[in-house]
Amino acid sequence: MQWFNVVLQGVLIGGLYAMFAAGLSLIFGVMRLVNIAHGDLIVLAAYISLIVTQAMGVDPLTSLLLVVPVMALIGYALQRGLLNRTLGEDLLPPLLVTFGLSIIIQNGLLELFTADSRRLQAGTIEILTFQVTQSVWVGALPLIQFGVAVAAVAGLQALFYKTALGRAFRATSDDQSVAQLMGLDTRHVFAMAMALSLAIVAIAGVFLAIRTNFDPAIGSARLIFGFEAVIIGGLGSMWGTLAGGIILGISQAIGAQIDPGWQLLAGHIVFLAILAVRPQGLFPKVSG
């Protein structure tokens, strides 16, 4: 029963990792951009939520109503004003620019908010739990977080295959230059993809900040979790990304159960094992 509990908690945290990963996967899929600043943008979202909760006296989940559009706007502007200029045949420039962005965001946050660790207070919902079996309890917040992650992945999947914007993403991803000849403004399409990516980042950032303490320096570890979930799941597959997040979450939970110091190690080992045995990931998209 104890192990059931461990796996369950792993699955639930996996939802959060899937949200870290979904935005990364989306950006890489549409424009082959590896966003090194992804983790720091998650932290930025947490701080924006902190400001909103303090200034308006709302709880963190309500603050999402403001944080999500703000992050989406930042994403659109960032892509349009900066990242679009770095895209081309060479993968290196966007890598370097987002790396620089990561440093700027980290130090900007450090300057504004100091290195003190913060926490978003979600109130009574944080301690609300349900008894599943005699010895297994599940928190309301992890459940909500997992539900939101599944909804985000399902939403992205539906958007990709059922909407005009999704078709624009897929067409641009397939062949940027032909997409332009079909009337697609690829700079706008890329900016929309980044806006969407950062909207998901906003949700992930707020849930992260309710779960754990955060400070300006924790972004890079979230980036790694995101990358690992993407690779485990297989590039380009949204449901695979969810599975990747869950596998990473379960591995960490089991590792932590064996020895608290093994939590991160276990996650990395499973990631490396999958990379060695199945480098295309568990659920890769069928290639065109």
Q: Binding residue for other proteins (CB under 8 A) from 51, 95, 184, 275?
A: 184
- Whose Cβ is closer to other proteins: residue 8's or residue 31's? 31
Q: Binding residue for other proteins (CB under 8 A) from 89, 115, 134, 183?
A: 183
Q: Binding residue for other proteins (CB under 8 A) from 1, 92, 115, 164?
A: 164
157 binds other proteins (CB under 8 A): no
Residue span binding other proteins (CB under 8 A) among the ranges 86-94, 109-117, 160-168, 271-279 = 160-168
193 binds other proteins (CB under 8 A): no
Q: Both tokens of residue 119?
A: 């926490």
Residue span binding other proteins (CB under 8 A) among the ranges 17-25, 51-59, 169-177, 254-262 = 169-177
Could you tell me the CA-to-CA distances from 137 to 2, 90, 202 in Å, in that order?
A: 11, 50, 28
Q: How far apart are CA 106 and CA 277, in angstroms?
A: 35
Q: Binding residue for other proteins (CB under 8 A) from 118, 119, 170, 268?
A: 170
**Cα angle: 214, vertex 272, 96; to 5 degrees:** 60
Site size with other proteins, rule: CB under 8 A = 22
Q: How far apart are CA 112 and CA 288, in angstroms?
A: 47
Q: Binding residue for other proteins (CB under 8 A) from 127, 178, 221, 258?
A: 178
Q: How far apart are CA 38 and CA 36, in angstroms?
A: 5
Q: Binding residue for other proteins (CB under 8 A) from 55, 132, 182, 269?
A: 182
Could you tell me the CA-to-CA distances from 134 to 1, 128, 130, 131, 254 in Å, in that order?
A: 9, 17, 11, 7, 21
10 Å CB burial of residue 2 (0-12, 13-18, 19+) is exposed
What residues line the site for other proteins (CB under 8 A)?
163-164, 167-168, 170-171, 174-175, 177-186, 285-288
